[in-house]
């Protein structure tokens, strides 16, 4: 699929344009420069054509610290993938030396460039568009990401250049979300699975600000894996950017199939990890727990890690625990196989005859009886239980445990809905 890369210096509105074009908020938008650090992928559908679009981190050319160099590497990788470049500048600040330097770096690539002059919100701003003619880019567009102006023309011209692309119906993509506290190894895990540097990895906790996603194939199945900002307790959130990052993660949980909960074995399981697991459980999503950095442990300690992890997450004892080293690639294939297994488990349909047998053999609830159990849904599995009297949570746990003993559903929450009916109805 043809690809567009959005590039430009910091705070010119690249992420706002990205969000506008894909039709949802994926990149964090904030007045503080340099929020986007990784390269973020989305899809744009226009006039029956579909193409990838990549948001990249902005940069000031004179920066030379380790993190800035890694962000620049992300930009270079995006440009290498791109068939078309959206070079974004800011009408309100006018043409700056940094814009000219970026333009000079883009020319040797010999790729089609669209100059998007952003923040053209009024007549005064539109007069400044001509200032950017010094860059010598023929296809120049005045746009406003905030107001949504000018993008029809941009996309029309894009469709002409990327003319050989048509919409194709894709098969199901299994969505994996990596969750954990800051610096647990989430971005390293994503990069290791993809065998490329898609997320910026740095020793500073909280390097990933946006949701970083990528697609890959494994055992003839298509996957999308999403790296997230390190989750914290609300009381520990210190600024709006962290708050928006956490809200973005909470919303995306609704859209995924499997969550991988990762933690550092040397820090152990803490309350934040349990809170993350409880959040995923409340959304009824499949889970795998991945204790990370086992390459630094003695072999004799590995079995203790599994046992202590199960003890810590005792409220989700149905979830597989797969120790890994994201950095060394240890246990990654086992993790992927387990993710695939959990996904298949979530799609199970319980045998109707077996459900009738279960009803016959159940221990009856106090002052009532179970008349019927039917599975009403999958992913997640939902069971409708007809009973003659209301039941307490302990009996629901007993039903859930019984269903799991018969059918498995490993790594998948089982939802039970009860309906009080009269016997014989």
Secondary structure tally for the chain: helices H, strands E: 12, 14
Tens of pLDDT, residues 234-260: 555 555 545 555 666 777 888 899 999
Report whether 356 belongs to an annotated binding site.
no
- Phi, psi angle pair for 260, to nearest 5°: -100, 115
Q: Establish if 366 belongs to a structural domain.
A: yes
Report whether 14 belongs to an annotated binding site.
yes
Number of domains in the chain: 3
Determine the structural domain holding residue 71 and report its residue range.
3-161
Give how far Cα 203 sits from Cα of 156, 188, 402, Å. 43, 11, 45
Q: Where is the domain boundary, 132, 161, 190?
A: 161
Report whether 57 belongs to an annotated binding site.
yes
Report whether 183 belongs to an annotated binding site.
yes
Report whether 10 belongs to an annotated binding site.
yes
Do the Cβ atoms of 170 and 222 come closer than 8 Å? yes
Q: Are residues 34 and 127 in the same domain?
A: yes
Angle 91-92-96 (CA atoms, 0-180°, nearest 5)?
Answer: 70
Q: Are residues 203 and 316 in the same domain?
A: yes
CB atoms inside a 10 Å sphere around CB 60: 14
Q: What is the mean pLDDT of residues 323-331?
A: 95
Report whether 151 belongs to an annotated binding site.
no
Q: Are residues 302 and 362 in the same domain?
A: no
The residue with greater pLDDT, 390 or 73, is 390
Report whether 58 belongs to an annotated binding site.
yes
Report whether 263 belongs to an annotated binding site.
no
pLDDT at position 83 over 50 = yes
Tens of pLDDT, residues 121-168: 888 888 889 999 999 999 999 999 988 889 989 999 998 888 665 555
Q: What is the mean pLDDT of residues 45-69?
A: 68
For residue 247, give the CATH number of its domain. Answer: 3.40.50.300
For residue 387, give the CATH number of its domain. Answer: 3.30.300.20
- Give 25's pLDDT tier (boundaries 50, 70, 90): very low
Q: Establish if 166 belongs to a structural domain.
A: no
Tokens of 93: 């600040």
Report whether 285 belongs to an annotated binding site.
no
pLDDT at position 213 over 70 = yes
Of 115-124, 362-371, 397-406, which one has max mean pLDDT?
397-406
Tens of pLDDT, residues 222-234: 898 988 766 655 5
Tens of pLDDT, residues 351-386: 999 999 999 999 999 888 999 999 999 999 999 999
Residue whose C-alpha is closest to residue 309's, from 260, 374, 344, 263: 263
User: What SS3 state is found at 183?
Assistant: coil
Report whether 289 belongs to an annotated binding site.
no
Report whether 351 belongs to an annotated binding site.
no
Q: Are residues 190 and 110 in the same domain?
A: no
Angle 6-190-326 (CA atoms, 0-180°, nearest 5)?
Answer: 150
Report whether 294 belongs to an annotated binding site.
yes
Q: Establish if 168 belongs to a structural domain.
A: no
Q: Are residues 238 and 296 in the same domain?
A: yes
pLDDT of residue 207: 40
Q: Where is the domain boundary, 128, 161, 194?
A: 161
pLDDT of residue 308: 96
Report whether 331 belongs to an annotated binding site.
no
pLDDT at position 191 over 70 = yes
Q: Establish if 167 belongs to a structural domain.
A: no
Q: Are residues 180 and 154 in the same domain?
A: no
Report whether 293 belongs to an annotated binding site.
yes
pLDDT of residue 232: 53
Q: Are residues 206 and 149 in the same domain?
A: no
Omega within 30 of 0 (cis) for the link into 17:
no
Environment class of residue 32 by beta-carbon count within 10 Å: exposed (0-12), middle (13-18) or buried (19+)?
exposed
N-term to C-term CA, the chain: 56
- Phi, psi angle pair for 147, to nearest 5°: -95, -10
CA–CA dist 351, 345 (Å, integer): 14
Q: Establish if 425 belongs to a structural domain.
A: no
- Give 177's pLDDT tier (boundaries 50, 70, 90): very high
Report whether 380 belongs to an annotated binding site.
no
Report whether 134 belongs to an annotated binding site.
no
pLDDT of residue 161: 85
Q: Where is the domain boundary, 108, 130, 161?
A: 161
Give how far Cα 366 sits from Cα of 39, 192, 244, 396, Å. 57, 52, 47, 12
pTM above 0.85, yes or no: no
- Sheet-wide strand order for 140-142: 40-46, 49-55, 3-7, 84-90, 112-118, 140-142
DSSP state of 419: E
Do the Cβ atoms of 113 and 85 come closer than 8 Å? yes
CA–CA dist 30, 13 (Å, integer): 9
Which H/E stretch holds residue 115? strand 112-118
β-strand pairing of 286-292 with 258-264 = parallel
Report whether 75 belongs to an annotated binding site.
no
Q: Are residues 239 and 148 in the same domain?
A: no
Report whether 15 belongs to an annotated binding site.
yes
CA–CA dist 255, 165 (Å, integer): 27
Beta bridge partners of 5: 54, 85
Report whether 181 belongs to an annotated binding site.
yes
Report whether 20 belongs to an annotated binding site.
no
Report whether 118 belongs to an annotated binding site.
yes
């Amino acid at each position: 699929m043809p690809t567009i890369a959005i590039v430009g210096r910091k705070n010119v509105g690249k992420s706002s344009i990205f969000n506008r074009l894909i039709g949802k908020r994926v990149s964090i938008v904030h007045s503080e420069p340099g929020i986007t650090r990784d390269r973020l992928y989305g899809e744009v559908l226009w006039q029956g054509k579909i193409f990838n679009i990549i948001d990249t981190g902005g940069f000031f050319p004179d920066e030379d610290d380790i993190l800035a160099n890694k962000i620049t590497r992300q930009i270079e990788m995006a440009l290498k993938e791109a068939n078309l470049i959206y070079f974004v500048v800011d009408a309100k600040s006018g043409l700056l030396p940094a814009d000219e330097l970026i333009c000079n770096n883009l020319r040797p690539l010999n790729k089609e460039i669209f100059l998007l002059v952003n923040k053209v919100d009024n007549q005064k701003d539109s007069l400044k568009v001509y200032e950017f003619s010094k860059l010598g880019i023929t296809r120049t567009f005045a746009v406003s990401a905030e107001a949504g102006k000018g993008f029809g023309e941009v996309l029309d011209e894009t469709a002409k250049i990327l003319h050989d692309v048509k919409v194709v119906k894709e098969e199901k993509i299994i969505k994996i979300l990596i969750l954990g506290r800051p610096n647990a190894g989430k971005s390293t895990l994503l990069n290791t699975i993809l065998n490329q540097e898609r997320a910026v990895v740095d020793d500073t906790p909280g390097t990933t600000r946006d949701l970083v996603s990528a697609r890959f194939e494994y055992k003839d199945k298509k996957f999308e894996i999403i790296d997230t900002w390190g989750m914290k307790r609300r009381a520990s959130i210190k600024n709006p950017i962290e708050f928006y990052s956490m809200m973005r993660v909470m919303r995306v949980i609704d859209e995924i199939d499997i969550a991988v909960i990762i933690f550092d074995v040397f820090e152990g399981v803490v309350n934040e990890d349990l809170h993350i697991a409880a959040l995923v459980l409340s959304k009824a999503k499949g889970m795998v727990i991945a204790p990370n950095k086992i390459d630094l442990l003695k072999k004799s300690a590995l079995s203790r890690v599994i046992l202590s992890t199960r003890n810590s997450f005792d409220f989700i004892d149905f979830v597989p625990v797969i120790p890994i080293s994201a950095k060394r690639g240890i246990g990654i294939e086992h993790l992927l196989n387990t993710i695939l297994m959990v996904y298949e488990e979530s799609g199970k349909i319980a045998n109707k005859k077996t459900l009738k047998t279960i009803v016959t053999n159940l221990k009856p609830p106090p002052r009532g009886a179970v008349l019927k159990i039917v599975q009403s849904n999958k992913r997640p599995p939902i069971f409708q239980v007809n009973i003659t009297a209301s039941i307490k949570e302990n009996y629901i746990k007993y039903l859930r445990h019984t269903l799991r003993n018969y059918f498995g559903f490993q790594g998948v929450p089982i939802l039970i809905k009860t309906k009080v009916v009269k016997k014989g109805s």
